[in-house]
Structure 1
Amino acid sequence: MKCIYPALLSGLSTMAMAEDLFRISGKAEVGIHFYQKDGVNGRNIQDAGSEVDINGAIDIHHDLTAFFQVNTDVKLDNSRGAGHLANGDSFVGLRGKFGAVKLGHGINAYGDGYFKGNFYQYDPSPANSGIPSGGEQHRGAIKYEAPLLDGLALALSYAPDKHETRGNNDAWAASGTYEQGRFGMRVSRAFQFSAGGQHKQDTLLAFRLQPQPGLTVSLELDYGRNERGQHQLSSAAYAEYKPARLGLRAAYLTARHAGFVHGATQKTVLLGADYDLSGGRFPTSLFMEGKSDSGAVRGKDLMVGIHVGF
């Protein structure tokens, strides 16, 4: 009996350490989707972005820390798009006084939007050139994040993909983000070479402002050029007001020469609301979002669903 207590205490201590080192989190989001496309109406049950994250970190030598993330998109509606473990932003890395180095998938220094209103179903962002830098057809990338300096964060990523016959090859991205108080801004640039010696590029300028507690507004401007030298200009304005349980959000996106087609335009309006039912360990919210597209893509969407975090 005397031997059991030390073993039990040791086991509890190990579990406590493991809980500190490893963390499982994520969200379950699903709802009823109503849509209209080309004059045809439809409705279905649709996942709104459910995912599971496994994160871990451990100090390995003085100021050096090893860490990892395994992000997996899951589909509660059994639709395609998940399929395997670590299909989302997944990586391993080292962090120290020099900054951080990450190696894996989905680690793009360009970023996928500075502040986009925290929409559930929709992932609004200005139209860009689609440079993956560690995603889509790329197997992965390496990313360096410099130490934070007076609110300034710098990042650089490289996605190697050498293939003589495929259209796209190596991709690079760099960004600088500055945040002080209620103001923030980001400048991002990405380019990708093609097998024919040409390249495509994309530049993004974003601003974020919190004029009062609970209210956030932002603006993104994007300029892209494809391998054929065609240009595309797009912009997006976002606003979210959530002082307490009730949240309201809106966005307006527009693109000139949309899809790199001269004279084509694209306009999208997004409206959304959510209400927090509970907080704590499993925060639960009800949400409703609507989208209206005009231009090259025409359609209307309405999503009513529930979010449960863990």
Structure 2
Amino acid sequence: MTSFTTGKVAAALLLATAGAAAQAADVTIYGRAHLSLDQLDNGVDSGTNVSSNASRLGFRASTKLDDGLEAFVQLEQTIRFDEGGGQFADRDSYVGLRGDFGTLKVGQFDTPLKAIRSKVDQFGDRIGDLRNLTRINTGSSNIGNVFDERFKNGVAYQSPKFNNLSWTLHYTPHNTTGATTDNVRDSYSTSLVYDVKGLYLAAAYESFEGIDGVDPKAIRLGAYYDISAQLRISALYQNASDIPGGDRDVYGAGASYKLDKFTLRGQLYQVSDNDSPDSGATLAVVGVDRNLGKDLTLYAAYGITSNDDAASYRISAGGRGTSVPAIAGENTTGLSLGIIYNF
């Protein structure tokens, strides 16, 4: 047999094996196209922008194993519908195993602390996203932003539910790229969640080990309660410590009300002063959704972040492709018309 023929046989065997594996796994392709037309104002200048907001394309696969186990994998990446481009596997991407013992996964993905905000935020990935206040820029090139981030090189365990309670521990030995010989960037996040239809209560603690004498920590409490089939109220509290400038608290509440095919929503949150006076801000946002089937939503929202004299918080940061920097002491505002298509 010639080497050419041998190569063809090997290639055929490889394709056959890959085909069998693909048939054995349950593979799903999914995504979201979320774009908005925004009028953004930083108190001095304003402009009209198109923004792609956490738009994504993802792949999931799972395979049933012996002894009631299941293996699973996810690859998810940002898609910039507004400007083109994206980065492969830059969002939640992991491999894992689940069974009666709970769920274990390894990769890069949201922390338990971040998951709480995602559950209670009335304007996630939109104008007025709570990350405008809860995410902290440490000013350190070794750490960067903290809270509402993904851990790199993460290992996480989530327990099974017991009486609607579950516990999650998420650890990373090296929360940055490349290799390490000293593990000075290890970090962890843990949460306890009570989740039953119509009621969600959660508490989380997160800690980063930095090197520049900065070791950010946060406690976060979140909740929502469905008073009726139409009305949901939500709330969040966060205390951040060991951060530049001194400790800060974020607290507030929101609500949504379903009216036929429309959903009215709003939220009001406050971030406190740190060691500097007049460094706090208030975020307020209102909006309305129009649902056109289960996969398509049109919405309008208006938000304002009222900054104290020494504060510079945005209205358009967090989960968005386009954001206008804030100016200290100036209010930032945004009017947004958006479309969300899930597929």
Interval containing the TM-score (normalised by the shorter chain): 0.7 to 0.9
Q: Give 5+ residue unaligned stretches, structure 2.
A: 1-15, 137-144, 313-330
| Amino acid paired to 2:154 | A
Q: Verify the 8 A CA contact 2:102 2:159 in the aligned structure 1.
A: yes
- Cross-structure match for 2:340: 307
Question: Structure 1, residues 284-305: CA drift from partner, whole Å, max 9, x if none?
Answer: 2211111111112321111112
Q: Confirm whether residue 272 of structure 1 aligns to residue 287 of structure 2.
A: yes
Distance 1:302 1:152, change over 3 A: same
* Equivalent residue number for residue 169 of structure 1: 185
1:47-86 alignment, distance < 5 Å: 47-78=52-83, 83-86=86-89
| 2:31–2:342 Cα contact (<8 Å) kept | yes
Query: For residue 244 of structure 1, what is the amino acid of its counterpart?
Result: D
Structure 1 Cα separation of the partners of residues 135 and 80 of structure 2: 26
The answer to whether the aligner puts 1:147 opposite 2:160 as a matched pair is: yes
Gapped runs of 5+ residues in structure 1? Answer: 1-10
Preserved CA contact (<8 Å) 2:154 2:173: yes
Does 1:289 pair with 2:301?
yes
TM-score, L = length of structure 1: 0.83
The one-letter code matched in structure 2 to 1:187 is: A
Tell me how large the CA RMSD over aligned residues is: 2.8
Report the structure, 1 or 2, having the larger helix content.
2
Distance in 1 between residues matched to 2:49 and 2:161, nearest whole Å: 45
Residue-by-residue CA offset, 1:183-230 (whole Å, 9 max, x unaligned)? 221000011122256622100111211100021111111101125682
How many correspondences in the alignment?
288
If the length of structure 2 is used for normalisation, what is the TM-score?
0.76
Change (3 A) 1:101 1:134: farther
Structure 1 counterpart SS, 2:64: strand
Deviations 1:212-264 (CA, angstroms, capped at 9, x unpaired): 00211111111011256821011131111125311111011110125x64541
Match of 1:156 in 2: 169
Q: CA deviation at 1:54?
A: 1.1
Work out the CA distance in 2 between the residues paired with 1:174 and 1:42. 40
User: What is the identity, as a one-letter code, of the residue corresponding to 2:249?
Assistant: L
Q: Distance in 1 between matches of 2:300 and 2:148?
A: 33
Cα drift, residue 160 of structure 1: 1.6
Report the counterpart of residue 38 of structure 1 in structure 2: 43
**Runs of 4+ with >3 A deviation:** 17-20, 128-134, 162-166, 260-263
CA contact (8 A) 2:77 2:88 kept: yes
- One-letter code of the match for 2:134? A
Asked if 1:257 corresponds to 2:273, the answer is yes
